[in-house]
Amino acid sequence: MLCTPAVTLAKSGREALDMLRANRFDIILADMPSLNDIAERDDEGMGRVVRHAEGALVVAMAGGASVTAAVSAMRSGAHDYVTKPIAGPTLATRIGELAQRHGRPRSLGLDTSLPQAVPDFAGFVGASNAMQFIYEQIGRVATSSAPVFITGESGTGKDVCAEALHSQGPRSGKRFVAINCAAIPRDLMESELFGVARGAFTGAHEDRKGAAELADGGTLFLDEIGEMDLSLQSKLLRFLQTGTISRVGEASMRKVDVRVICATNRNPLQMITERKFREDLFYRLHVLPIHLPPLRQRPTDIMVLARHFLERYAREEHKAFGGFSNEASQQLTAADWPGNVRQLQNLVRRIVVMFDGGEIDIGMLNAADIESQAFAPVEAPAPRAETRRAILPMWQQEQKIIEDAIAAFSGNISMAAAALEISPSTIYRKRQSWAEMQKAG
């Protein structure tokens, strides 16, 4: 049975507050200009509605794509922001997505699939409603210079999202510089971020720009921000407040204009509670939040992504595959994907490398699934004679390619990454995982 949600209309902010005191609601659609009667300052009305919301999800609405209004609404605690006019089905979808992200029934939004789902967008592949919402969010906030805070499990596409925000915005002509706060040793982090003056410490033979200066005019992406040392967090906060940096070992300040995007797969609020992350820094950075949903919450994307990766890697390896069998598709769709898109991508890549072609069946899936053990174990088929020469594992081959590129650019990771057409954070992350594999092996 389909239940139509009850809708109550308040004609003013005061009336809305009275209703909120007397009733509980699932969703509050708060038209920002209508709250003026309960606000002395611009953003006060929204704050008052949020304080009386009693667990309801609050969607702020205003006319025109005003970034200032969106920022102010989100800062006041609204869960989402939409611009008017908005078509009924689009609004319903937005509410459904919002409800799902907050663990409420999707039917709160009367789930209506967008009539024309976008199949891919700026590096992302996926036509699920959840991804439509992400594409829309990226499109909306890309034009602003306000900080973006991306959250999501590992492998959900946070790097892709950061690069999409850069490529879709007005800074796309300037550099996108990524720095991975987890992969850089603590004592090197400050100089990587802010640069170093010649003679600042042993080995600092020349002046060197840091990531912030390299990104001047463009975007600075701080990946795994939750891992940043507390003392450096204070310096980052000062940079965000003043727009100036000083290189390590240098007293003078330099003006730098960057858009800061940061990402984490940890829960930032928990880190604040544990005193591992500065609260004031969090609120400086958490202006425009984007949350990437895990792959298991958007199962319709799984086969779309699997086919996309199959086509890509088959082309790269000059092999011909005939897609996935029905059973293989069902198994892929039903799996949990704790490593999200990266895990699916690695699996498909391994299949393409291990087999010569044909339709991918369950036996091939299981043989290639060395990571998750998500599928039932099946004996791997013997490799064909011509593939039996000594082959290094994929990660070692990849390590050689990347280390060669870094050496070719005299240790400059950003330039090596640009030449390899990957993000510097990917290099940092891979270096960390190689070190772990070498330690384990």
Ligand X SMILES: Nc1ncnc2c1ncn2[C@@H]1O[C@H](COP(=O)(O)OP(=O)(O)OP(=O)(O)O)[C@@H](O)[C@H]1O
Binding site for ligand X (CB under 6 A): 124-126, 152, 154-160, 265, 305, 341-342, 345, 429
Name the DSSP class of 193: H
Q: Is the CB of 319 or the CB of 342 nearer to ligand X? A: 342
Long-range pairs for 345-353: beta carbons < 8 A, 24 or more residues apart: 345/305, 345/309, 346/371, 347/371, 348/306, 348/309, 348/310, 348/313, 349/309, 349/313, 349/394, 350/394, 351/310, 352/310, 352/313, 352/314, 352/316, 352/317, 352/319, 352/321, 353/313, 353/317, 353/394
| Cβ-based nearer residue to ligand X, 235 or 342 | 342
Which residue is it, tokens 């009667």?
37
Q: Is the CB of 355 or the CB of 428 nearer to ligand X?
A: 428
Rounded distance between C-alpha atoms, residue 152 and residue 163, angstroms: 15
CB of 432 to ligand X, least distance (A): 10
Q: How far is the CB of 224 from ligand X (least distance, A)?
A: 7
> How many other CB atoms sit within 10 Å of the CB of residue 124?
21
Provide the pairing of β-strand 57-63 with 27-31: parallel
Task: Tell me whether residue 124 or residue 176 sits nearer to ligand X (CB atom).
Answer: 124
Q: Chain-centre distance of CA 255, in angstroms?
A: 28
Pairwise CA distance, residues 416 & 403, whole Å: 9
Q: Please, which residues bridge with residue 124 across strands?
A: 121
Q: How far is the CB of 384 from ligand X (least distance, A)?
A: 29
Residue by residue, DSSP assigns 327-394 as HHHHHHHHS--TTHHHHHHHHHHHHHHHS-EEEE-HHHHHHH--SS--SPP-PPPPPPGGG-S----H
Measured from the CB atom, the residue of 47 and 157 that comes closer to ligand X is 157
Residue with Cβ nearer ligand X (93 or 345): 345
Q: Which is nearer to ligand X, 156 or 331 (CB)?
A: 156
For residues 392, 393, 396 and 398, what is the CA-based torsion angle, rounded to 10 degrees?
110
Question: Measured from the CB of residue 362, what is the shortest distance to ligand X in angstroms?
Answer: 23
Q: In angstroms, what is the minimal distance from the CB of 152 to ligand X?
A: 5
Q: Which is nearer to ligand X, 158 or 247 (CB)?
A: 158
CA-nearest of 287, 171, 207 to 240 is 287
Choice between 39 and 304, CB closer to ligand X: 304
Instruction: Name the residue whose CB lies closest to ligand X.
Output: 157
- The rounded distance, in Å, linking the Cα atoms of 184 and 430 is 12
Measured from the CB of residue 266, what is the shortest distance to ligand X in angstroms? 10
Token readout for 79 is 């869960």
User: Measured from the CB of residue 423, what is the shortest distance to ligand X in angstroms?
Assistant: 8
Q: How far is the CB of 123 from ligand X (least distance, A)?
A: 7
CB of 163 to ligand X, least distance (A): 8
